[in-house]
């Protein structure tokens, strides 16, 4: 059987940069949103109590758990002259950028947990993650449709991962000089704080990085699809014991990693005596070390098996996270 002709580099050059936005926006939200709305004593006005933010984020995740597979299902079955992925990405991108910026521009409030701020954050967060799903679920589905050979898929994955690494560096080390700013005027625009500068800059970079991917279209004759509907697919998944075990462990690991990321600004400023910029650099160190660990973990997974390494990583969370309480 003849080998497939490798895809042109121009296709990769248009596809991979969107990985930057895919990594940057949730990193900024995960790292700084809690701190922005509920800063420690003496670090700014408390707009929302941590419990309120937690309740809003839990509600958003419940909606997301339904929305994400639904968007994937509908995207697979979309039929337009622009393809089935691009319409979702093109419609979701403006909402994604606007909602992300809106997160950091809450209405004025006299005290914590004002109704207007609660509604603002809930709506902005729901729209942000709904739009994020609308953009990046189809975007990720494009990869196996564009890269039909194993070699091409590896090349595309590496390109996307490279831009996600750049996003991690930009969202941590790059944020350091911005989050500690007070009121500032940038390019003639007045900002109340550095978080707003970071939000606008991140949104602009995300927008630019995704635009090239909107010029790509999947092949006009995609592979045959499964012959069952959305509800049947969900029910089938939940009847699979291995899926339930894997999914439960993934939820626990995501909860552990996000808890650690959210805690870093507080640990840095309150327990270690750092300013916000230095705390952001602390986050950068963590992310850089985690990035450098990828090839090591990959090698271990190939030798010892993915499941074993996954379980050891989960055990590491259990052993290490409690040590955060010993800092300071």
Together in a domain, 179 and 245: no
Together in a domain, 172 and 279: no
Tokens representing 139?
């975007």
Together in a domain, 83 and 18: yes
b/e sequence 11-27, b meaning 16+ C-beta within 10 Å: bbebbbbbbbbbbbbbb
pLDDT at res. 222: 52
Q: Is residue 233 part of a domain?
A: no
pTM exceeding the 0.85 threshold for the entire prediction = no
CA–CA dist 328, 324 (Å, integer): 9
CA–CA dist 242, 250 (Å, integer): 12
Tokens representing 324?
């955060």
Structural domain boundaries enclosing 179: 9-227
Together in a domain, 219 and 261: no
CA–CA dist 195, 104 (Å, integer): 7
pLDDT at res. 110: 67
* pLDDT, tens digit only, all 328 positions of the chain: 445 555 677 888 899 999 999 999 998 998 889 989 998 877 778 899 989 999 999 898 888 888 888 888 888 888 888 888 889 999 999 999 999 999 999 998 767 878 899 999 999 999 999 999 999 999 988 888 887 777 777 778 778 888 888 888 888 777 878 887 777 777 778 888 889 999 999 999 999 999 999 998 877 655 545 556 667 767 777 788 887 877 777 777 777 777 777 787 888 887 887 877 777 788 778 777 877 877 787 788 778 887 888 888 888 878 887 887 777 6
Q: Is residue 3 part of a domain?
A: no
Q: How many residues are there in the chain?
A: 328
Together in a domain, 17 and 117: yes
CA–CA dist 32, 25 (Å, integer): 11
Write down which residue in 227, 249, 268 finishes a domain.
227
Q: Is residue 2 part of a domain?
A: no
Together in a domain, 74 and 128: yes
Give me the phi and psi of 191, to 5 degrees please.
-120, 140
Together in a domain, 31 and 122: yes
Q: Which of 193, 236, 262 is nearest to 54 (CA)?
A: 262
Write down which residue in 169, 198, 227 finishes a domain.
227
Q: Is residue 1 part of a domain?
A: no
């Amino acid at each position: 059987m003849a080998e497939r002709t490798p895809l042109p580099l121009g296709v990769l050059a248009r596809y991979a940069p969107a990985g930057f936005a895919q990594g940057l926006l949730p990193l900024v939200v995960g790292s700084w949103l809690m701190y922005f709305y509920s800063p420690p004593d003496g670090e700014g006005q408390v707009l929302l109590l941590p419990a309120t933010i937690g309740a809003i984020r839990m509600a958003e995740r419940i909606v997301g758990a339904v929305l994400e597979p639904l968007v994937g299902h509908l995207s697979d079955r979309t039929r337009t002259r622009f393809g089935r992925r691009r319409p979702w990405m093109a419609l979701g991108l403006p909402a994604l950028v606007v909602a992300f910026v809106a997160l950091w521009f809450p209405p004025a409030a006299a005290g914590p947990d004002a109704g207007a701020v609660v509604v603002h954050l809930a709506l902005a967060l729901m729209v942000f993650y709904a739009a994020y799903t609308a953009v990046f679920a189809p975007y990720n589905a494009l990869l196996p449709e564009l890269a039909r050979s194993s070699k091409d898929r590896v090349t595309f994955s590496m390109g996307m991962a490279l831009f996600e690494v750049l996003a991690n560096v930009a969202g941590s080390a790059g944020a350091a000089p911005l989050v500690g700013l007070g009121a500032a005027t940038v390019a003639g625009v007045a900002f109340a704080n550095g978080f707003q500068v970071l939000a606008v800059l991140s949104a602009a970079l995300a927008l630019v990085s995704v635009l090239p991917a909107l010029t790509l279209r999947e092949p006009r004759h995609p592979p045959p699809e499964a012959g069952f509907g959305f509800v049947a697919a969900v029910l089938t998944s939940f009847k699979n014991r291995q899926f339930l075990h894997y999914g439960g462990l993934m939820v626990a690991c995501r909860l552990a990693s996000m808890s650690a990321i959210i805690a870093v600004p507080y640990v840095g400023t309150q327990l270690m005596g750092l300013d916000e910029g230095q705390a952001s650099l602390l986050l950068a160190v963590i992310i850089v070390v985690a990035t450098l660990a990828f090839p090591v973990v990959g090698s271990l997974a190939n030798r010892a098996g993915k499941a074993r390494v996954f379980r050891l990583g989960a055990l590491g969370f259990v052993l290490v996270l409690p040590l955060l309480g010993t800092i300071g």
